[in-house]
Amino acid sequence: MFRKTAFVAVTAGLLAVVLAGCGQDSLTTTKSTYTRSGLVASVKGHSNQKTVSYRLDGQKTKTAKVHNNTFIIQVPPKTTRQTVKLTAGNAKKTVYVKSAKRLTTYKQMATAYNQALIGSKMTKSQQKAAQKLQVQGAALKKQQASMQAAVTKAKAQVAAGGSEAATGAASLQAQQTAAAKLQTQAASLQASQKTVAAGMKTAKAKAKGELLPTKAPTGVTNVLTTKDYKIRMNVQSGDVMGTAMIVPTKAFKDKTRQKNFGTAFALLSSTSGANAKQVMKKFGKETKSNKSSTTTIDPIVSKGVHFTIGVSSSDLFIFMTK
């Protein structure tokens, strides 16, 4: 009788432990530290709860849904390591997202990109005129600086008196003649500047809808959407951490749409710090040799910028990171 009672007691105790275990809140992750893939780092894990709450570096708590005991939290990387604190019921866990390098600042990228795009909309004669104006303007500034230095020296010589005074006076006379000539050149440049400015105004109107916003976005957002492509960025505190182009595969069947994409891709490449010519050549070679509609093309690296390319049945994805 004693043995039977003891057996029942032990069995009941084990059952209680098993049932208690089944009722525990569970929370696990696939890694302790995550790195980005594309524009974000995907924190993955499992839980028996309906939702998982998380906080990034002490910020406001957010919630991720759990599907089939699995959850994914996408964390845009920054230049500093991030701490992610997870909670599922009574279960808690802390993981980390590695820091990443920035491509450039958004202000630098947007300014350079927009200027180059507007320039590409100008006619060849207008482009040549703008380039000539730039060279002449730089030369004029250099001459002005040299002249000012010569005038300062000449005045000092006149003030010193003696034999140097005559030299200084002659130099001042020569600078006055040069100044008159410089004024004529400046007047000619101003006329050319008006012509170039008019051309740029027309080109800017043509580029409307294709320019990057001047105001820096925050987080992962579509900064520009056209019928030929989308430009998505992860911008953190004014730093461009990564850029993505999403292009419909149909766009490659139309020469005009293909050209529009090519121009935008080349400009994004160069403003990210890469060699655009080199990248475009490799990109053309890789996409031409790719015969599958759902695959990943070999990555391209140029001057420290990594280009990861993926293809689906409907879109081409190009990620640019460092």
Reported as a single tens digit per residue, the pLDDT across 183-203 is 787 777 676 677 777 777 887
Residues 6+ positions from 54 with CB-CB distance below 8 Å: 43, 61, 62, 63, 64, 73, 84, 85, 86, 87
Does pLDDT of 264 surpass 90? yes
Report the alpha-carbon distance of residue 90 to residue 310 in Å, rounded: 40
Paired strand residues for 217: none
For 220-234, b/e burial (b = at least 16 CB within 10 A) is beebbeeebbbbbbb
Cα distances from 308 to residues 95, 130, 168, 171, in angstroms, run 26, 35, 65, 62
Q: Choose between 290 and 89: higher pLDDT.
A: 89
Paired strand residues for 63: 53
Report the alpha-carbon distance of residue 273 to residue 304 in Å, rounded: 8
At the topology level, CATH places domain 23-97 in Immunoglobulin-like (2.60.40)
**Cα 56 to the center of its chain, rounded Å:** 22
Paired tokens of 3 = 């043995």
pLDDT of residue 15: 42
For the beta carbon of residue 41, count every other beta carbon within 10 angstroms. Answer: 23
pLDDT of residue 12: 43
Lowest mean pLDDT among 226-230, 238-242, 285-289, 304-308: 285-289
Model pLDDT for residues 94-149, shown as the tens digit of each residue: 999 999 999 999 999 999 999 999 998 887 777 776 777 678 778 878 887 887 88
Output the pTM of the full model: 0.76
Alpha helices in the chain (DSSP H): 2-22, 106-120, 124-160, 163-206, 255-271, 276-289
> What is the number of H-type helices and E-type strands within the chain?
6, 15
Residue 87 per-residue DSSP state: E
